Amino acid sequence: MEKNEILKTLKEEKIDYLQMQFIDIFGICKHVEVPKTQFEKAVNGDVMFDGSSIDGFTRIEESDMLLIPDYKTFRIFPWEDESGKVARLICDVHNPDGTPFKGCPRFILKQVVKEAEKLGYYMVVGPEAEFFLFYRNGEGEPTLKTHDKAGYFDMAPQDLGSLTRRDIVKALEKLEFEVEAAHHEVADGQHEIDFKYDDVISTADNVITFKLVVKKIASKHGLHATFMPKPVFGINGSGMHCHQSLFDKNGNNLFHDPKDSIGLSKLMRQYIAGILKHAKGMCAITNPLVNSYKRLVPGYEAPINLAWSEKNRSPLIRIPASRGKGTRMELRMPDPTCNPYLSFAVMLKSGLDGIKNKMTPPDPVDKNVFTMSEREKRRYRIDALPPNLRESLHFLKKDDLLTETLGDHIFNHFYNSKVLEWNNYISRVHSWEHDRYFELY
């Protein structure tokens, strides 16, 4: 839509408020909401906000920031309350002089996309973001009690979870998502809703919108939705597997080669090699919480092994069976708490590094890595992801390609904040320690 079309639609649909959304460096969606008297000013990109109030943005002495809307992200929310109808625009954050703000995650992704396009590559991504639904107590606070005892693809009787999932799908479709599938996942109360792949920037926008919709609809049903990677000990955690391909400007899938024995192009293998090379540092971005690494442990189908395969799901990278336009690689380590803009940026940049330097990946591993001994893994030269946030930050800091991709502003703020988060975590006394030591010693 063009600017005038948006203003016309806002009037015709009797929209009461317009949310100007933007994303902070930790992937949290923020917004400035304006009433109808300010719609034209907002659509013109003249709304300013205090960037010093957003963690990781600007200092108090340079706080004014501009919100520049991306018109193609205009949507009307498919719900209404007593305050009226609400629409939204996703925005890029700019400096007061109109230049892009280097602390804006959307800007970082756009820079890498431009680099890829100069080489003739167009990235598409299809994420699979899992989430849990939990009951709320009488005071409306979230509990750890789930609504079901179902498993993977189970057809349980109609319950609050399945009804909520259907309403989420309906809301997403009204927001122009093409939902491909929705199903129960492995753990009790765990769900997955898959939407069609798109260009990488649109997909990052969709991930943010998807999470907002899931939480909004769950709340309407009296449930709490969480994308926390490992909310409950002893069961599977939630990931966000990312299917990705490179296309050319004519829509040809550059990962496919019909002459290859398994249908994969040399360029795809180089891309995989780049991902594997940078995976340890990338992990700090794609798995950014202390809790992320409670999911990335052996025994729960966790993709901790730095290998790839076209036949099984135990390595970090899986090649789904589809060929032709559907040829793609699935990166299995990310979780849904990641900032999708930064995560897709470091994925694409790592893949491009593999292509530019003509890297060769190790041979695919077609055995079940989960059941291998450590000796077998050494024989196959299979390394592992970092076991915790602190070590992943160490690898991120050492990876010049990734730190340059993020830029000094975002890297420094992200790194320093996450180091503080880790230090805060390890200084706390946890219930496990009481259970283990309190009476014994």
The residues annotated as belonging to the active site are 50, 128, 130, 185, 192, 241, 313, 330, 332
Distance CA 153, CA 183 (A): 6
CA 217, 127, 199 angle in degrees (round to 5)?
Answer: 110
Continuous H helices in 259-339: 266-286, 292-295
Measured CA to CA, the distance from residue 331 to residue 315 in angstroms comes to 9
- Return d(Cα 305, Cα 224) in angstroms, integer: 32
Cβ neighbours of residue 139 closer than 8 Å, sequence gap 6 or more: none
For residue 26, what are its two tokens?
A: 């930790």
Token pair for 398: 């050492």
Calculate the alpha carbon distances from 126 to 3, 176, 250 in Å: 29, 15, 20
Count, residues in the chain: 441
- What is the amino acid identity at position 213? V
Q: Closest Cα to residue 89, out of 125, 57, 47?
A: 47
Cα(134)–Cα(152) distance, integer angstroms? 17
Amino acid at site 228: M
Separation in Å, CA 115 to CA 91, 154, 347, 349: 21, 44, 13, 9
Do residues 130 and 190 lie in contact, with contact meaning Cβ atoms separated by under 8 Å?
A: yes
User: In this structure, which amino acid lies at residue 301?
Assistant: E
Q: What are phi and psi of 42, to 5 degrees?
A: -65, -45
CA distances from 107 to 43, 85, 182 (A): 19, 30, 31
Number of other residues whose CB lies within 10 A of the CB of residue 195: 23
For Cα atoms 164, 165, 171, give the angle at the middle one, nearest 5 degrees: 90
Pairing, β 315-318 against β 305-309: parallel
